[in-house]
Every structure is written in C-alpha cells, then in structure tokens.
C-alpha cells in the first residue's frame, strides 16, 4: 500500500481510504459485526484511513473494528452542524461513538460555496477551538463544487478538504474535473491535505472501474481517495489498485456486474421532503411521487435519511 502525508497535518495516510457511507443504514445497512469485519480486512491489507460522518450511522462499525488495535487508523468524520452548540454535540458523539480521545480529522459536511462556509463559520470556529484543546487534529470541509474548494484558498485555517473527483467529473455541480483538479493543485501547494471522494461517480463509472480508479490514483495532488466498500471482493480490487499491483483476473469484470441504483418505493406519497436534501438536484416530484434522474444521482443516500416514510433505498 502506498502512503502519503496529508498536507500539513503530519498524518500519514494510505492512498486508499475506506469510505463507510455504503455499509451504513443509508445504503447496504450491514450489521455492526459485518461492517467491522470488512474494515478489519482492509486494515489487514494496509488501509489505515477511514472516512465516516455523523449522518452515515457507522460509528459503531468502526468502534468494533478498531477496539483491539494497538495502532489506531486515521479517522475522519463530518457534520452538518452550523452553530457552536451543534458542532460541540456532533464532535462529542463522534468521540463517544468510536470510543476515541481525539478525532484526527473533523469536517464541515457538504459545503457548496463561500456563502455556505460563512453560514457555518460558528461551527468551524468551534472546531478550531477543539483543535487547540486537543480533541481534533485537523479541520476542514467536504464539497461537491469547485466554488467551495476555491474559497479554501483564502482560508489558511483549513487543514484538509474532501472534494468530489472522478475521471468524468460526475457529480461536480459547477464545473469540470479539470477545473476541480486545478484548484486542488493550488491548495496542495499551500499545504492543504486533500482526500477525494466518489472515484466511481456513485456507480456511474462502474463499467470502467479499473480505469477510473487508476485515474485518481495517478493524480499527484490527491493524498488519498475514499472509496465505499461493502464486499471482500471490492476490498481486494481496490487494494490491488492502490498497492500498484495487477488486479486478479476476472475480478474487475465481476465487480462491473454490481451496478446499483436509487429506487423509490411504491408507498411514496410525493411529499417532496427528499428533494430539498438532494445535493445533486437529482430528485423531483412527478405524478404524485418522487422521481430519480439517474444520470444526476451519485448514490450518496442522503435523501433517504430525510424521507419520513423510508421510501428511498439503494439496491
């Protein structure tokens, strides 16, 4: 496994980061035991970086996986909190949920612009205080937009960013992958650590999975890349790519057959609550029920967390 220092943080991370969104209740809904076993498998193969978020519901999976490890992996979490009080509670939930004295990286979740960051300033200021108090080692934000990433150029307090990057630019809401990578290069040169997300575009790029993963692996300014993994085969495949090894014969093709999609259940009432929580504007209400624009959906599953009737499922 290849490792990098994450920007100016001094945190040494594997190029492959285990993204836990897909194993949680928003997607595969693996049991704590099942999820923990997958994380342990990845750790045994050299992965030492795990990404989660308050929304993902995977703190228990991580806690069980790392509880007997002498050397803990680097852990990153995120929160939508926008006030000091909310962020203080979110950080405490992460510490308690994963049984940690300190969270390595804590991010503002899904920032879209300078104005979004400004609206979350109080929460960011609390994280900076928590960093001084030794509860957090690095702070920053995740984003799906070039605009938000560009805002970090004028924010020296940002240690780490977590942007959306893939070979086709799937999911980037306001530009191209070339534009995103250009800002990433500028940020990296200032010492900001960068770990990317959605290398397979939420499943849209599964038909060219090996090409897509090798693309992000070869980007010099990406310190690490978070990929969701819910099977041992996915872990084997991804670890081979990020260890510079050949992929076992037939494994890439096997995984190409596992395309997933967001499905709207028949009991959907068309209330439209989900629409406002879709970061990609992929959900609409048509004919009295929610409708998914599949080409826009990146399978983040965030909509399902806000559906009052549990109508949205990823299969």
Task: Report the Cα 177 to chain-centroid distance in Å.
Answer: 17
pLDDT above 80 (res 217) = yes
Torsion of CA 277, 281, 284, 289, to 10 degrees: -40
Torsion of CA 305, 308, 314, 315, to 10 degrees: 140
Confidence of residue 58 (pLDDT cuts 50, 70, 90): very high
Rounded mean pLDDT of the chain? 91
Span between the terminal Cα atoms of the chain, in Å: 30
Residue bearing the bigger pLDDT, 229 or 315: 229
Which helix (H) or strand (E) is 215 found in, with range?
helix 209-217
Cβ 68 vs Cβ 91: under 8 Å: no
What pLDDT shows up at residue 256? 64
Which domains are seen in the chain, by residue range? 3-256 (3.20.20.100), 262-314 (3.30.70.20)
What pLDDT shows up at residue 201? 85
CA distance 60 to 49: 16
Can you give the pTM of this predicted structure? Answer: 0.87
Segment 137-142 shows an average pLDDT of: 98
Segment 110-118 shows an average pLDDT of: 92
Percent with pLDDT over 90 in the chain: 66
Segment 54-79 shows an average pLDDT of: 95
What pLDDT shows up at residue 65? 97
* Of 53-67, 180-194, 227-241, the least confident: 227-241
């Amino acid at each position: 496994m290849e490792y990098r220092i994450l920007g100016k943080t001094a945190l040494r991370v594997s190029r492959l980061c285990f993204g836990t969104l897909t194993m949680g209740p928003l997607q595969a809904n693996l049991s704590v035991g099942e999820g923990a076993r997958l994380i342990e498998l990845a750790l045994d193969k050299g992965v030492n970086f795990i990404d989660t978020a308050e929304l993902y519901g995977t703190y228990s999976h991580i806690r069980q996986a790392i509880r007997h490890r002498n050397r803990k992996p680097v852990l990153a979490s995120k929160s939508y909190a926008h006030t000091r009080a909310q962020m203080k509670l979110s950080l405490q939930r992460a510490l308690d949920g994963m049984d940690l004295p300190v969270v390595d990286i804590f991010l503002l979740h899904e920032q879209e612009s300078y104005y979004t960051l400004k609206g979350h300033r109080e929460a960011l200021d609390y994280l900076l205080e928590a960093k001084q108090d030794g509860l957090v080692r690095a702070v920053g934000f995740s984003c799906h937009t070039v605009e938000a990433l560009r805002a970090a150029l004028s924010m020296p307090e940002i240690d780490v960013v977590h942007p959306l990057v893939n070979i086709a630019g799937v999911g980037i809401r306001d530009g191209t992958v070339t534009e995103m990578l250009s800002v990433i290069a500028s940020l990296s040169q200032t010492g900001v650590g960068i770990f990317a997300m959605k290398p397979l575009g939420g499943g849209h790029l599964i038909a060219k999975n090996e090409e897509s993963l090798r693309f992000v692996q070869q980007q010099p300014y990406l310190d690490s890349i978070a990929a969701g993994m819910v099977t041992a085969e996915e872990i084997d495949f991804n670890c081979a790519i990020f260890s510079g090894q050949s992929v076992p014969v037939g494994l890439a093709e096997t995984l190409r057959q596992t395309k997933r999609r967001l499905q709207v259940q028949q009991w959907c009432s068309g209330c439209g609550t989900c629409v406002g929580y879709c970061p990609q504007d992929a959900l609409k209400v048509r004919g009295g029920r929610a409708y998914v624009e599949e080409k826009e959906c990146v399978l983040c599953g965030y909509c399902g967390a806000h559906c009052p009737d549990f109508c949205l499922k990823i299969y």
